[in-house]
Chains A and B, each alone.
Chain A
């Protein structure tokens, strides 16, 4: 095996976007058959680098890109494709209405001068690549009917079918369950055996450390370094990414009150969760952790009235309530910040101003029930100060904000409704370490003011340092309860994986 043979090496890669240097003389080297990870906070230049490697964006003059020993100053998308550099995008770029076979062999159609479809050829290409990597997926199946994880494997097979030498996986695990991640990782392992390189891009440092041979860290467009995996751990990697030693310690204040605000009894829904019972006290932060697919979001949606449960009861402040829609839940004072803020939490083309007041219209109405623009402005400006949202002006479209600031807008719009129970579903997904910090500071303040919070998270450290109690949920059931001081991150991590 060609140990340490370099497939691709890029030197002094810079990129200037209208005066902003997105990349400053970055080098990267990817060996044949290597699993190389690329990590960095949002805005560190990861996606710019990927775009340069795939030819979508041209680097500033002076860059050297050497693939298979041939030097170029830039790549075009077609060149990159011909050299075998393929990206599997987060959205997969597949065709849900076509069969698995066609999706894999789609590049057959782009060949010049090909008028007729050669069906046997398409099936043999697809079957060959599925078999080569031991994937048990029916090539005749309509792609859209497969679970997302299988679709991703199909996307990788498509790259392989057109002779990929380097497969770039952009946040491939962000929506996979643990078992699916394992399957993906075993596919990556077998790519390695076929001497195909992988560039793995992820925010999940645990997975980065699990799968990579080497890790390249970017910060603010600079390369911090390329490190052997053996020399790294999570804390070290966080430090390299942020430049700050973040000491995590619990800052939990003791509970002020023993009053039970919300009690859930034997809540069940066929196929999603069963027999869920827990209580939530005033001002308490209750962490719910578990592997993806454990039913946490479904449970949260049931409490918020958007997912009808089959049996059980919800008791709010001592009386049994019937929450049949999210309007009922909001009226009671329950707010829900969804996991996927882009799909469910924020209206991207609309201004920050309207995104914030959307849940608070009653507060900005004037005498005759029309919107009072003065009150509106001052309300929104107050919110932007309070939540420290970085925005050029309040009329700016929400899409212009960074991920962390978008999340703050979503938090603001719900917190300003003065809820008594706030459900945060994965509030830190896809945002960087600094933004995470400020979100958790906010959560602590709310708790001190007596707001009860359900914090749904994937990260053991988040719940350990930010909640009063931790519930572990698996396969739709609550399996155990911990106090944060009695369990360590590692122990919790293994409990989740068990």
Chain B
């Protein structure tokens, strides 16, 4: 625990650097600040929800409904600010969060009281949330946003100018991602609820015997996922400047993959915020690199799939090793 960086994170960092070096060698454009800032901004949605998924995975659960949660939260926000022409970014930012939390709470309650596997509950809720949204909205797009909403997307933390005179810089959304990553790290490391999340994911029966309130932990975890889905939906709407109900749903597996790639175990109990960030970056770099190398989009999918399989294979193998070790100790 005293180590700043775990072995898994160190591996990831190493792979990341190797990939980056290779891509730079293939196309020097890769290692320009402009490309990197661009890449970071384009992956903010993925990065933010991966942090939420990480927390759910650590607790031993899984959430695949967050795309529907984000879509619902985003749509309601869109309807409100466009129909009242609400010229406030703060309102646009704050509306989706309680919606996400409420939908997350529904997930948590169903998971706790039905005792069904979270994957079943969240797949059902993915369909319920999304289905209801499409039913009521008929899938209509929203794009007439007030100016404050439009201008906010252009804000940069600092601005540089490239040799063609075009300004670029670190997007405000990337800053949000970084802050949320720090928040997640802090919760997991320094709040008792964070440590309880690890404990529940490590051994739920022991956690119950020690006297932890399992429902509170699950409620926190799925609501946190919901809140981050809400924030991410705001970011996504800002970046694309329109709201399409079908833009987000379908990306569940990318996010899961990023979190698992970053060291979260599908069996619960392990993972870190830094790992989740690195996992997203690795997928982002692979995709970006393949684009720069002008490789077909289908091959990109194949490639990302292979990387995920390898990473998930490694974690499963480590899990087996650990189990084998304790089994060997247990027998004569």
Residues of A whose CB lies within 8 Å of any CB of B are 78, 81, 89, 91-99, 101-102, 106-110, 114-117, 119, 140, 144-145, 147-149, 175, 177, 290-294, 296-297, 339-340, 426, 458
Contacts and interface: CB of A to CB of B under 8 A. Distances in A.
Q: What 7 A-B pairs are tightest by C-beta distance, nearest first?
A: A97-B269, A292-B332, A97-B202, A93-B206, A95-B202, A148-B329, A109-B192
Interface stretch (B74-82, B103-111, B209-217, B284-292): B209-217
A101 B1 CA distance: 10
B332 A117 contact: no
A148 B192 contact: no
Contacts of A291: 332
B330 interface: yes
Contacts of B190: 116-117, 119
20 contacts: A93-B205, A93-B206, A94-B203, A95-B207, A96-B269, A97-B198, A97-B269, A106-B210, A109-B192, A109-B195, A115-B192, A116-B191, A117-B189, A144-B326, A145-B322, A147-B329, A148-B329, A175-B329, A177-B332, A339-B332
A95 B332 contact: no
B210 A110 contact: yes
A481 to B, nearest CB: 19
Given A93-B205, A109-B212, A117 B191 contact: yes
Contacts of A115: 191-193
A175 B212 contact: no
Given A92-B206, A94-B203, 10 more contacts: A93-B203, A95-B207, A96-B269, A97-B201, A98-B202, A108-B192, A109-B195, A117-B190, A177-B332, A291-B332
| Best-buried of B189, B192, B211 by chain A (most CB within 10 Å) | B192
Contacts of B191: 115-117
A297 B329 CA distance: 12
A97 B270 contact: yes
A458 B332 CA distance: 9
B196 interface: yes
Contact of B195 (A102, A175, A340): A102
Interface residues of B, number: 31
B115 interface: no
Contacts of B329: 147-149, 175
Contact of B194 (A93, A114, A117, A426): A117
A293 B331 CA distance: 7
B196 A109 contact: yes
B2 interface: yes
B332 A98 contact: no
B327 to A, nearest CB: 8
A117 B270 contact: no
Contact of B192 (A92, A114, A294): A114
A148 B331 CA distance: 10
Interface in B143-193: 189-193
B198 A95 contact: yes
Contacts of A340: 330-331
Contact of B332 (A89, A147, A293): A293
Nearest to A107: B210
B2 A140 contact: yes
B70 to A, nearest CB: 28
B141 to A, nearest CB: 43
B210 A148 contact: no
A149 B195 CA distance: 25
Nearest to A110: B211
Contacts of A78: 211
Nearest to B327: A343
A117 B330 CA distance: 33
A144 B269 CA distance: 11
B232 interface: no
A91 B203 CA distance: 11
B68 interface: no
Contacts of B199: 95, 98, 106, 109
Nearest to B211: A110
Contact of B1 (A109, A140, A144, A339): A140
Contacts of B206: 92-95
A90 B199 CA distance: 19
Contact of A296 (B212, B330, B332): B332
